[in-house]
Structure 1
Amino acid sequence: MKNYRRSIATILVAFLSISVFGQRAIRVYQDDSMPMKDRVEDTLSRMTLEEKIAILHAQSKFSSPGVPRLGIPELWMTDGPHGIRPEVLWDEWEQAGWTNDSCFAFPALTCLAATWNEDMASLYGISIGEEARYREKDVLLGPGVNIYRSPLNGRNFEYMGEDPFLASKMVVPYIKGVQQNGVATCVKHFALNNQETDRFTVNVNVDDRALYEIYLPAFKAAVQEGGTWSIMGSYNKYKKQHGCHNQYLLQDILRKEWGFEGTVISDWGGTHDTRQAITNGLDMEFGTWTDGLAAGVTNAYDNYYLAKPYLDLIKLGQVDTTELDDKVRHVLRLTFLTAMNRNKPFGSLVSDEHVLAGLGIAEEGIVLLKNKNNTLPINLHKVKRIAVVGENAIKMMTVGGGSSSLKVKYEISPLQGLKNRIGTQAEITYARGYVGDIGSAYNGVVTGQDLSDNRSEEELIAEACALAEKSDCVIFFGGLNKSNQQDAESYDRLWYELPYNQDRLLEYLCQANPNLIVVNISGNAVAMPWVDKVPAILQGWYLGSEAGNALAEVLVGDINPSGKLPFSFPKKLEDCSAHSKGDFPGANGQVHYDEGIFVGYRWYESQNIAPLFCFGHGLSYTQFKYGALKADKKELTSSDKITFTVDVSNSGNRSGSETVQLYISDLESSLPRPVKELKAFKKVKLMPGQTKSVSFTVDKSALSFFDPEKHQWVAEPGKFAAIVGASSLDVKGKVNFSLKQ
């Protein structure tokens, strides 16, 4: 079986190549003091036509061959926006059977976005980059920054929410953290990949303004601010061309407008046409399906679109090598930055530092949605009997969900986390409550859990209620899981409500014990018809290996929750713009984003629709008071900046962190604009009684909209308002100012 580590054969060939070509050959892959452009051109000049073609496509599920004759090593990719995927067989998705490829699971990216903390994003990137480096991976296939358009999108848990500014700010430090390890990020899925239904074929119809204002900013930030070394194309179509070879996205926008110098990598199986792949910007092709007969195991990869078909076109004189050389330049640059980077660190796997990083991110991302009568934190001096109910209290969440499925060193369940923390301070009992997914394997990774339960729904409810009645408080762990039609790749959710009749169970639990705490484990918003009957609700996300410990620490008050929602929770699905204005998930191969720029809170505010929980919402165990919002000037010129300042005080009796959010409102726009848009945020930690001054400096770019007629960003002179708040709806201050011509 072929191994992903650099083969001895490659090393020997490299040694021989030095002997044959002399000292000049050393410069090809050793002299990293040379300018990158010179290294690339020198190597390119030494490659044969066949070698150039070879490095453009896969040689296995997750690797490309390099150039053995010149000592150019293979490139190895790995899934893992949240952890490093286990090794699979050379040509298959099933496990390779290694015993040393278990990883640490970091929280899903919805949780990272919920921290609203760029330092956490940097820590996340550094940590997962170290794990990828230790496993000798060159490209990490992530992070994902597709916008949260509908709560039914099964892959939302892998992304960073509904707001392009928040996603842009969080993705940049993640990228820099990963790449300081000599591992490339491959930011995905570029672009408009906002559903799983018909994801391989659906054509997205969206106006230019929405494209540039909502769906592209996080990718642009990843390129121009984060400096990502690679980008992954998307499966879906835009303007009737697939995202992996799309002239408009990859050439006109990514290369020409943004100046991207990195490598464009196809999503696995996302390539469909040789000529479009040649001309429309694709550099590396992975995962293309072959029929096993005409292109069997010995030549399957040679029959990829950017393999023999491309070579044949060149030899027949039907295309020249101009595009080929550009593609090879991009791949060589990627190779020099990663596989041939002699200064990269060794990395580490499941280290103590990674455990602390994952735990800290999870703690900061948990969102306290509701806390009536200070039900939380649990007072262990008074509460001595705790009933834990729900399948999600025990079910492993790191296995399943698609390409982000992991084989972890360990995973602490919520029930185990509570037992770890509470010990003998209180009696903890457990009831299943409902039976959801009893599956315990994905692509050969087996959890070892036996979740089978033959009891009826009535029996399960009766047991849970009996336990609740004799307990001081009840903690319900429910929500979604990583099964098909829930939070999972390849499938969208079928409905907005909780699955497995959890809503019915919760109605009974409310009657059995009013001291009920609901912990929603999901990467998506869910309907909560019982919201008024439940005093306390936590949004628990998919928190990775340290999930149970993080949740326990927040529930008992060791950690003061400080997460804020990165997307809105609508009361009902019809309130969401993609369902009331657009046509999610489309029909007849077409989906129309008729809501335009009005996505998430932009829509709810424009329509005066009250969400269940708004964007940016998140409570605390302490209280914060805001002073008056002040501006350092009343007028802003087009070349100037303006600074807004607000004092924030902790008026409670315990330390806590608050995310101060700055929104801008255009009061005189010639085009329809949202009521307000997020343009800055800052998370501050305050001790009891402490006050800090928080400042935001913005320029005219924060006032701009994309003018589709001019095809440029425009800041119109006129009146604006700066709005500071604890969420999109919890406004704490406002100040007017104007932009001069």
Structure 2
Amino acid sequence: MSGSGKKVVVGETPVYLDTRKPLELRVKDALNRMTVEEKTRLSYADGRFSTPGCARLGIPGLMYSDGPHGVRAEICWNSWDYAGWTNDSCTAFPALTCLASTWNPSLSKAYGTAIGEEARYRHKNVLLGPGVNIYRTPLNGRNFEYMGEDPFLAARMCVPYIQGVQENGVAACVKHYALNNQEHWRNHIDVQVSDRALYEIYLPAFKAAIEEGKSWTIMGAYNKVRGTHAAHNKLLNNDILKGEWGFDGCVVTDWGAAHDTYEAAMYGLDLELGTFTNGLTSNSSLGYDSYYLGNAYLQMVKEGKVPMEVVNDKAARVLRLIFRTAMNDNGKLGAMSNDSHYETAYQIATEGIVLLKNEATFKGESLLPLSQGKYKRVLVVGDNAIRNLMQGGGSSELKPKMVITPLEALTEKLGKECVKFTQGYVAGRPMFDRADTFSQSVIDSLYTAAVNEAQKADLVIFMGGLNKNFQQDCEGDDRKTFQLPFEQDRLIKGLLKANKKVVVVLTRGNAVDMPWLKEVPSVIQSWYLGSIGGKALADVITGEVTPSGKLPFSYPAKLEDCPAHYYGEISYPGDGIRQEYKEDILVGYRWYDTKKIKPLFPFGYGLSYTQFEYGKPVVSSSQMQSGDVLEIKCTVRNVGKVAGKEVVQLYIGDEKCSVLRPLKELKDFYKVTLQPGEEKEVLFTIDEEDLKFFDDTQHKWVAESGKFKIYIGSSSKDIKGVVEFDYKN
């Protein structure tokens, strides 16, 4: 007798095995054949990165892999040790901050397709990514895995990634749902946030991932939201995700994020991927039955404390995931670390690098681009010039088949006789939960050697920033300071005293303090660029590629200007128990615009080796009613001497509203490629949805009648043209 009370007919052909049958028919058929024990067993792990199927019925389990920047090296079945395989290397793709900085959704699709192929080749059914949590503070250790401060940009960039992954029969797992905006106290901090901020800022990327990207899984975050852990939170899972958005996939835990059997059963958790026998503290070879959704869940079901419709819903979601992935006979075998994947990684890296400063201070010339033969002695300084930046960082750590460092690439392009390297500072081994320490004598020795060499060089390229060490860009805790680590500020100032021709290249996923900015002629924002990152960076430095990246988050001039820090410790990092998002909807550029605080570098900012000239924007009508669509046209001309790409950004501002609204909000963008002298027309369309705010008194999105402004610009601050229109609902 099956758990649903129906008999299984001996010899009956199982519909669930027939991939030609509709998915829901297959799910229903499998459910009808399963016992209660088999149904509940679907909901928790049987290994570090695996969950079971139903062996009796020939339904396979699922294999998971950390992402979202590459398929992680193989982990042992029941420990966190690496398995030591020799065939589990991967392509390391750029971190998602770099992808967001491309402002190019077509590259996002290529990224997802390539990483999905690698996951398929490695027989992984679920790739744990992309991450779409909002950049709230530059101290968050995990910002490098996410897509910046703006919900619209994050939404536009995550959807093609998800679609590309899932076309391979591999499930994307969008994370970390929701409000996981810091690593410090991440396991217990209780986030208090308004409905407006929740719906307008922190949920839109997740919503797009589900409704547009059709993500098959979503990962519950560690933190609490309004008193309940996010992984089994009624508001997030039952009311919004499965209720309002109609999500038909699986909610999975982050490792150890489940805390209660009844809440996990009733509040929307479908798959528990824990670390130890109770998800948190103890370990044994047969401990998986002790998970919250293990024997305790089964016992509650048998005692009638959990309704069978809940059990069947969970089991159906897991079966749906298995049929979409492990039992998806789409004929695709995947591919690993091929030329196509390396080319995709290279394109993302080159388009994501952001040129922050490039002043023409030397006889009317800028230091960049650095043409071959321009300088006889180029000194490269900095640990990040030689470091494997795929190591460390926590779950995003990768084992790339190939790593091209910046020093290797620059040496190849400029010649061994031209390039000299000195380390300048020491950063230590990549470690997740601690950091190396060094004596002041070692630090001073490296500093002195670098400054002495800088005096003899024609040009100095400093390559520093952060890395994926503990309390930097690393999972598990936040940065402790806004300053650069390892006395890099002192080193940069010393290099400038020795040589005025200094290019600063900073690798990081976060904004940092720049007390030397006025003195440095040229500054590049590099990200964690992956396997081909060194070549991509060298090609931008030398002008083989014109930089076109735009910042996905604002850089505050000082940490106190950042909205999360403006209201004191209760806003960030909290009091150890709870925190209040007091800046509400005014996150990132919304804050700087509305409060009239000047950022160091604004959202959407990025320079080029060429120049662009904007025409006056034209709107198709000065009047708009509900149901109308307005067209906005704008011309962009490349008036420089080299080809380049420009990101045209459209923002909308509500001039008068019954609630507080930002001065303007990003509503569309387009990346255009232009040859020297070439002009193109960019066309945008907007409708009523682009004018709405979330009314928490009515719990719905509302557009009020009134005057609106359309801002066309190359960043949130560099507005090239404004047009107005009146809206009537």
Question: Is TM > 0.5 for Structure 1 vs Structure 2?
Answer: yes
Q: What is aligned with 2:371?
A: 379
Q: How far did 1:319 drift?
A: 2.7
Greater Cα shift, 640-649 or 573-582: 573-582
Q: How far did 1:381 drift?
A: 3.3
**Matches for 1:279-294 after TM superposition, within 5 Å:** 279-290=266-277
Q: Secondary structure at the match of 2:162?
A: helix
Q: How far did 1:423 drift?
A: 2.5
The 2-side partners of 1:294 and 1:661 are apart by 48
Q: What is aligned with 2:380?
A: 388
Q: What is aligned with 1:712?
A: 700
The 1-side partners of 2:438 and 2:58 are apart by 53
Q: What is aligned with 2:13?
A: 24
The 2-side partners of 1:125 and 1:514 are apart by 42
Q: What is aligned with 1:408?
A: 400
Letter in 2 for 1:734: V
CA contact (8 A) 1:196 1:489 kept: yes
**Matches for 1:409-558 after TM superposition, within 5 Å:** 409-423=401-415, 427-436=418-427, 438-439=428-429, 456-558=442-544
C-alpha change, 1:518 and 1:65, in structure 2 (3 Å) is: same
CA contact (8 A) 2:196 2:694 kept: yes
Q: What is aligned with 1:8?
A: none
CA contact (8 A) 2:432 2:475 kept: no
Q: What is aligned with 1:86?
A: 73
Q: How far did 1:277 drift?
A: 0.7
The 1-side partners of 2:573 and 2:438 are apart by 34
The 1-side partners of 2:656 and 2:367 are apart by 45
CA contact (8 A) 1:369 1:619 kept: yes
Q: How far did 1:380 drift?
A: 2.3
Greater Cα shift, 574-583 or 72-81: 574-583
Q: Secondary structure at the match of 1:361?
A: helix
The 1-side partners of 2:269 and 2:329 are apart by 28
The 2-side partners of 1:212 and 1:338 are apart by 31
Q: What is aligned with 1:685?
A: 673
C-alpha change, 1:213 and 1:442, in structure 2 (3 Å) is: closer
Size of the aligned set, in residue pairs, is: 713
Q: What is aligned with 1:184?
A: 171
Letter in 1 for 2:163: K
Q: Secondary structure at the match of 1:545?
A: coil
Q: Secondary structure at the match of 2:155?
A: helix
The 2-side partners of 1:404 and 1:309 are apart by 32
The 2-side partners of 1:102 and 1:293 are apart by 29
Q: Secondary structure at the match of 2:310?
A: helix
The 2-side partners of 1:289 and 1:585 are apart by 28
CA contact (8 A) 1:439 1:451 kept: no
The 1-side partners of 2:414 and 2:429 are apart by 30
C-alpha change, 1:416 and 1:296, in structure 2 (3 Å) is: closer
**RMSD of Structure 2 on Structure 1 (CA):** 1.8
**Matches for 1:631-650 after TM superposition, within 5 Å:** 631-650=619-638
Letter in 1 for 2:515: P
Q: Secondary structure at the match of 1:544?
A: coil
**Matches for 1:221-240 after TM superposition, within 5 Å:** 221-240=208-227
Q: How far did 1:719 drift?
A: 0.1
C-alpha change, 1:381 and 1:417, in structure 2 (3 Å) is: closer
The 2-side partners of 1:211 and 1:176 are apart by 25
Q: Deviations over 1:187-239 (max 9, x none)?
A: 00000000011101000000000000000000000000100011100110011
C-alpha change, 1:708 and 1:482, in structure 2 (3 Å) is: same
Letter in 2 for 1:439: R
Q: Secondary structure at the match of 1:625?
A: strand
The 2-side partners of 1:610 and 1:441 are apart by 36
Q: What is aligned with 1:16?
A: none
Q: What is aligned with 2:286?
A: 299
1:318 aligns with 2:293: no
Could you tell me which runs of 5 or more consecutive residues in structure 2 were left unpaired when the two chains were aligned. 1-7, 361-365
The 1-side partners of 2:659 and 2:683 are apart by 29
1:665 aligns with 2:653: yes
C-alpha change, 1:246 and 1:45, in structure 2 (3 Å) is: same
C-alpha change, 1:292 and 1:198, in structure 2 (3 Å) is: closer
Letter in 2 for 1:270: A
Identical amino acids, percent of aligned pairs: 53
The 2-side partners of 1:35 and 1:454 are apart by 67
The 2-side partners of 1:667 and 1:76 are apart by 51
Letter in 1 for 2:330: N
The 2-side partners of 1:46 and 1:53 are apart by 14
Q: What is aligned with 2:112?
A: 125
Q: How far did 1:50 drift?
A: 1.0
The 1-side partners of 2:524 and 2:439 are apart by 27
Letter in 2 for 1:709: T
Letter in 2 for 1:338: T
The 2-side partners of 1:211 and 1:721 are apart by 25
Q: Which of 567, 575, 590 is residue 561 of structure 2 equivalent to?
A: 575
Q: How far did 1:379 drift?
A: 2.5
Q: Secondary structure at the match of 2:651?
A: strand
Q: What is aligned with 1:623?
A: 611
The 2-side partners of 1:451 and 1:131 are apart by 37
Q: Deviations over 1:401-454 (max 9, x none)?
A: 010001111211111111122235x61001111112x215679xxxxxx99999
